[in-house]
Structure 1
Amino acid sequence: MQHYLKFTTFPLIALAVMHAMMQGGAWMYTGIAALVFVVALGDILLPDDRSEPRMEGEFFLNLMLWLTLPILMWVTLCFTWAVAPVDVLGIDGFMKGVFGYDRLQLQADTTWYQWFFGALAGAFLFGAGGTNVGHELTHRTYSMRDMMLGRWMLAFTCDASFSIEHVYGHHKNLGTPADPATAQRGENVYGFVLKSTLGGYKSAWKLEKQRLAKFNQSVWNPVHSRMMRGNLMSLSLFATSFVIGGWVGVVMFWIMSAGGKTLLEIVNYMEHYGIVRRPEDKVEPRHSWNTNASVSTALLYALTRHSHHHAEADQEYWNLRSYRHAPMLPTGYLGTILLALVPPLYKKVMTPLLNHWDETFATPEEKKLAIEASLKSGMKGLKSAQLGQNGGHNMNRAAA
């Protein structure tokens, strides 16, 4: 039973945090506090979750995913309504009578910077909930229902195109220069977020254009184009935010949406940082950084078991294995995100891990690529760079 209950972590935390934050004032810090003290510290203090039970209650496990969409809708409604200058939809009475939320009192009790911290917590719910679950569901290309739900979840971060690029681009190209979502050694996370965002959208557009060309259809036609339909889905959410909260509501939604998208790209940055692969070689578990940190695994529906995900992309989250001998991140996802936000610290932490990857996981051909990547990175302490600097005989010995 506990293996089923752990996957209630996201909906329970999301609803509890939202209720606390909607009390206004200092309660707006609740979301950030929960992330740091519950998730990051929980990953450090609790033992890793390497359990691999046989789970057959698929309806319950899927229900935990499907609940994400109404949760995202609730987050959007609450925040855009709470900042609204006027009660356009006339729901003040309903929110106060049923949930005890008084919009005017909320506004009186809450400073702009408290609203900002609340929006950051909302961004985490958009990213950890919408993007993560949307990622899981849009891999299920065999289910129109799950694909549709997943794309709507991704639309909250203006990223329905992710369902195209990630499934048909990233999984094919990871670890190669052709993949915008693979961070190079020494690459700064802040520059990577912009590069991956633009590169991912461009790649998705190209893939969809190529698909539609086979049917003589235009990528600009929303009837046929998944790209244009995804854009319109996100636009409809901005329009809804405007109806509920005016331009202030639009700004609030934009902060949560952009923040959630940024969170995704930071996770992309971590998941394959510095790993190299030849385009002609099969994607294997060693081409992804893995972690079995307990809270991250439960909260993110085992996204953390990334090595197995890339080995078998069609596996549902409850079937992913721990792959305890795969390349491992230094801690859980949130802790690694915090490290990545301080580039010098992140490079220092990842240097010995990259050295271990080069020595333990890289094939002879990949050792050569690793030497080139390490030399280009300018990172100090990478042994493969030292081998490259020492001359061709050392390079050949590294590849042996």
Structure 2
Amino acid sequence: MNAKTSINSAKSAVKFSDNKRRLWLLGLVVPNIANAAFLGYQFGPKITRKVFAATGPLALHLIIPAIDKAMGEDPDNPPEEAIAALEHDPYYARVVKLFIPFQLAANFYGNYIASRETTPLTDRILFGHLLGVVNGVAINTAHELSHKPGKLEHYLSHLCLAPTGYNHFRIEHPYGHHRRVATPEDPASSQLGESFWQFWPRTVVGSFKSAIEIETRRLERKGKQFWSLDNELMHGWAISAAYHLLMLKCFGTRIIPTQLTQAMCGITLFEAVNYMEHYGLKREELGNGRYARTMPEHSWNNNSMFSNVLLYQLQRHSDHHAYPARSFQSLRHYANVPQLPAGYASMVLPALIPNWWFKLMDERVIQHYEGQIDKLNIYPKARKLLLNKYASLFKHTTQPVTLAQ
């Protein structure tokens, strides 16, 4: 780089201003919606209690999608020259970490309300759904922290994951999913024709097994056994166990329905987002079990403003997989990659209803690959049905189709 180029790059970096700098604090909205709902339930009129208890589904399926639609698309893309400065600004890391005390406050407050004798079982289950939304979103906070090199960030990631008990994600995501993404071998990449309810057990069980394999290999390279004090999976499980034992000690067994519901809902919400992110997409096969490098076109993108600031730009997923070391504030939107029809919050309900999802997405996937079946990541059990249903969209291919069995 010559002196003139360096000066121009420096000027570009100075000129760039992050217009969303204060908006990133909206990432704290979800746990504080829960805190406000618990406050309203405790001190509000008795007639409004059911409304406050049902805040989880109302916020997830109505309020957030409505705000997302009203705010529209995010126009800002940081230039390449500004990324170094953005990465070194400590403000963004502090915003992410600030989520954790509000998440924990929501869980303690929610379980306190659930533990009271006057709180009926239906409301305790509804509180579990609301906390599931909080803790499902917290998995995304854990995701941002899991990509950082520092041990502190890794254990803060485990703390975010403690309520759902999904601590294996800290290991599997950066070292498993990012290596195998958009291939039939990846349990966290959904396949064309695979319903969410078929994907859920495949990804939950497969990712758990993958995390154990990854950590076992890491420890073996250090000359240690899996049952070692250096096993980070065990550290995460210990943090989760300590969290749940503390909750039971503080609030008693009446919180068990709330705790079980929040864990199931949190995991399901997170995996619904996982389901959306790579549906049907596949990296080119190079032979001998190798695939082409992960590129922006191997993820589904969305550029909705509100859900992007809520989720630390997780919806700019293409840039995240192409450059996994980049922090959320540096991620860019690509217009020429697969685009979801709406933001994540708006797509959760369709993802949970297979016929709705297939109607929205299947033709979109096939058209993205111009009907070339060998380029698709197809669910083996759905292959025949898809070939019959979309026969007019598929082109004849001269290459053999390689599918996971």
Superposition TM-score, scaled by structure 1 size: 0.84
Letter in 1 for 2:125: F
- Give 2:147's aligned residue: 139
Aligned ranges 1:37-76 → 2 under 5 Å: 37-53=62-78, 54=82, 56=86, 58-76=89-107
Structure-1 separation of matches of 2:157 and 2:200: 22
Aligned ranges 1:83-232 → 2 under 5 Å: 83-84=114-115, 108=118, 110-128=119-137, 130-140=138-148, 142-221=149-228, 223-232=229-238
- Give 2:264's aligned residue: 258
Structure-2 separation of matches of 1:114 and 1:383: 48
Is the contact made by 1:185 and 1:274 (CA closer than 8 Å) also made in structure 2?
yes
Aligned residue pairs: how many?
363
Is the contact made by 2:282 and 2:375 (CA closer than 8 Å) also made in structure 1?
yes
Q: Deviations over 1:12-50 (max 9, x none)?
A: 342143222333222222333233333112223332113
Deviates most, 49-58 or 7-16: 49-58
Q: Do residues 324 (structure 1) and 335 (structure 2) align?
A: yes
State the secondary structure of the residue aligned to 2:398. Answer: helix
Among 242, 245, 249, the alignment partner of 1:239 is: 245
Structure-2 separation of matches of 1:377 and 1:348: 17
Q: Deviations over 1:75-134 (max 9, x none)?
A: 2211222222xxxxxxxxxxxxxxxxxx5xxx53x4432332222111011011x20010
Aligned sequence identity (%): 27
Structure-2 separation of matches of 1:147 and 1:50: 32
Is the contact made by 1:371 and 1:385 (CA closer than 8 Å) also made in structure 2?
no
Among 94, 98, 109, the alignment partner of 1:78 is: 109
Is the contact made by 2:32 and 2:102 (CA closer than 8 Å) also made in structure 1?
yes
Distance 1:368-1:298 versus aligned 2 partners, 3 A rule = same
Structure-2 separation of matches of 1:243 and 1:172: 41
Q: Please state how far the C-alpha of 1:385 moved relative to its aligned partner.
A: 7.0
Aligned ranges 1:376-395 → 2 under 5 Å: 376=383, 378-379=385-386, 381-382=389-390, 386-387=394-395, 394-395=396-397
Among 345, 351, 354, the alignment partner of 2:356 is: 345
- Give 1:396's aligned residue: 398
Q: Deviations over 1:162-196 (max 9, x none)?
A: 11111111111011121000111111101211110
Deviates most, 322-331 or 38-47: 38-47
Distance 1:216-1:184 versus aligned 2 partners, 3 A rule = same
State the secondary structure of the residue aligned to 2:21. Answer: helix
Letter in 2 for 1:240: L
- Give 2:324's aligned residue: 313
Q: Do residues 29 (structure 1) and 54 (structure 2) align?
A: yes
Gaps (5+ residues) in structure 2?
Answer: 1-17, 42-48
Gaps (5+ residues) in structure 1?
Answer: 85-102, 361-365, 388-393
State the secondary structure of the residue aligned to 2:280. Answer: coil
Letter in 2 for 1:314: A
Structure-1 separation of matches of 2:68 and 2:389: 28
Structure-1 separation of matches of 2:393 and 2:334: 28
Q: Deviations over 1:251-275 (max 9, x none)?
A: 3223212221121111111101111
Q: Deviations over 1:355-396 (max 9, x none)?
A: 222129xxxxx7524296687162364358743xxxxxx213
Letter in 1 for 2:24: F
Deviates most, 238-247 or 30-39: 30-39
Structure-2 separation of matches of 1:247 and 1:226: 29
Among 357, 370, 376, the alignment partner of 1:370 is: 376
Is the contact made by 1:123 and 1:257 (CA closer than 8 Å) also made in structure 2?
yes
- Give 2:8's aligned residue: none
Letter in 2 for 1:23: G
State the secondary structure of the residue aligned to 2:364. Answer: helix
Deviates most, 230-239 or 8-17: 8-17
Is the contact made by 1:165 and 1:204 (CA closer than 8 Å) also made in structure 2?
yes
Letter in 1 for 2:222: F
Letter in 1 for 2:103: L
Q: Deviations over 1:171-228 (max 9, x none)?
A: 110111210001111111012111101100100101111111122212122x111111
